[in-house]
Structure 1
Amino acid sequence: MRVNWNNIKLGFLGMVIIGLYGFADYRSDQKTIDDISIKFLGDNNLYLTEASVNKLLIQNYGTIKNRAKEQLVLNTIEEVLRSNDMVKNAQVYLTVNGELISKIVQRKPIGRVEGVSKFYLDDLGERMPLSKHHSARVPIITGKITGKTLEDAYVILNYINEDDFLRKNVIGIHIEEEGKYQLKFRLENFVVNLGGVENLDEKFKNFMAFYAKAAKDKSLEKYAVVSLEFSNQVVCTKI
């Protein structure tokens, strides 16, 4: 019987390669974490500090630096970071140089609720706790706070944030009751009765036309209330 030396050589070569890969993986797993890098992505990085993240990791894992790579489960670390109330998303990975890198996206508040409970409303419409590191300059939400009225406030805030003028000038939303929302402006004495959240495009289009004319006439200071509650019109109450 003839021996097929080519097959034997290929089999032996395959075993050598598998052994080398296994050895490389073993050596890689035995390497330790040489450094930790925490990177905050985006421009909304005011509510959580690097020290807070390090503290969170230490509380859950102890000291990470100089630990073997095989002792760390990256998916679990990501879950721990995402569990922080200020974190929107987190990605963790290891470099070939033994550096543990955490990329974190912080949550973005768009409104601040001032009531029995104080908290932010974030850009997903969810409750977000206040931060001890920074106070966001966002419209203040007051009045009758319920699940439904917060949903409506979120709709209003999203609309406001899409318009440069409104984003810079609206400083508050007061909830009189469900379907009755009032806006407060930074530089004006009057309040704007918005009514409900239906037909916002039409309501704000009418308001901007009124505002432009009143500003041109220098009569803005004469009004106490500007109502957008009625279809296709602006009803003003003078001081």
Structure 2
Amino acid sequence: MIKKFLKYISFLLLIVVLGILYSFSSARNSKKKVKDIVVEFEAGENHFLTHAMVNKLLIQNDSTVKNQAKSVINLYSLEKMVSKNPYVAHAAVFLTIGGTLKTIIKQRAPVARIMTKSDSYYIDKQGVKIPLSANYSARVLLVSGVKKEEEIKWILPLISFILQDSFLQKEVVGIEKFDDDDYQLAVRSGDYKIDLGKLTEMDVKFKKLKAFYNKAFKDKTIQNYKTINLKYHNQVVCAK
């Protein structure tokens, strides 16, 4: 009984000591100041934001967080501030034991540039709007004929289809939407246009296009055409 009692007392004392050490360590750690600010970008194309631009977002109480006590740093607020930037897809802000404020950022990747009469901007694969940047001009699909932002979601499946096909990704450079919801493609290999029609049976239409290309490039007649029409069932109709 005495041995059990002593073990119990020893265990309680150990917990108390550990609690005191933890409290002391936490108090001491909270008084430490932020020594450095480190910004890292996740793997991928990171052209829109620079380290200096992110540092400017890491502001608390109208001043930089560097040399501020760790205890007063509002990580949630800083993370929220960085995440609000239109070029940021995801951000994580945290403090290291050594006193470094670290920010890891994943930038948005543009897949197309929407061009209207009054505006021009990028979109990512979810259709999220990304403003143009003075730092970088992305080489992406040019999309015209969009009159309302809600129309973008109609075009996303076509953009996705093109980008998932290695040949189409290199060949198609532009998409134009017409008022009757027909679509026309601009291509890299010539001045001719491809009439795609409605966004239906895209896999069938592009298979027809590839089959036509194989023949037209082989006999060198492709540049004789002004339009290649894929709208009709089981045939490709060309106009000179």
TM-score clears 0.5: yes
Distance in 2 separating the partners of 1:161 and 1:78: 32
Deviation at 1:28, TM superposition (A): 1.2
Please give the residue correspondences for 1:84-233 in structure 2 after superposition, counting only pairs within 5 Å: 84-115=85-116, 116-233=118-235
SS of match in other structure, 1:15 = helix
The residue number in structure 2 matching 1:24 is: 25
Distance in 2 separating the partners of 1:212 and 1:145: 36
- Figure out how many residues of one structure are paired with residues of the other and give that number: 237
Kept in 1, the 8 Å contact 2:146–2:152? The answer is no
- 2:163 partner letter: N
Kept in 2, the 8 Å contact 1:113–1:120? The answer is yes
**Length-normalised TM-score, structure 1:** 0.92
Distance in 2 separating the partners of 1:127 and 1:107: 10
Q: Residues 198 and 91 from structure 1, CA distance in 2 versus in 1: closer, same or farther, beyond 3 angstroms?
A: same
Aligned identity (percent) is 37
Which aligned runs of 4 or more in structure 1 are off by greater than 3 angstroms? 4-10
Deviation at 1:71, TM superposition (A): 1.1
Q: Residues 124 and 98 from structure 1, CA distance in 2 versus in 1: closer, same or farther, beyond 3 angstroms?
A: same
- 2:139 partner letter: R
Larger displacement relative to structure 2 (202-211 or 176-185): 176-185
Gaps of 5+ in 2: none
1:83-118 per-position Cα deviation (integer Å, ceiling 9, x unaligned): 000000011222222111111000011111111221
Kept in 2, the 8 Å contact 1:174–1:183? The answer is yes
Q: Residues 60 and 83 from structure 1, CA distance in 2 versus in 1: closer, same or farther, beyond 3 angstroms?
A: farther
Q: Residues 66 and 148 from structure 1, CA distance in 2 versus in 1: closer, same or farther, beyond 3 angstroms?
A: closer
Deviation at 1:59, TM superposition (A): 6.9
Deviation at 1:61, TM superposition (A): 5.3
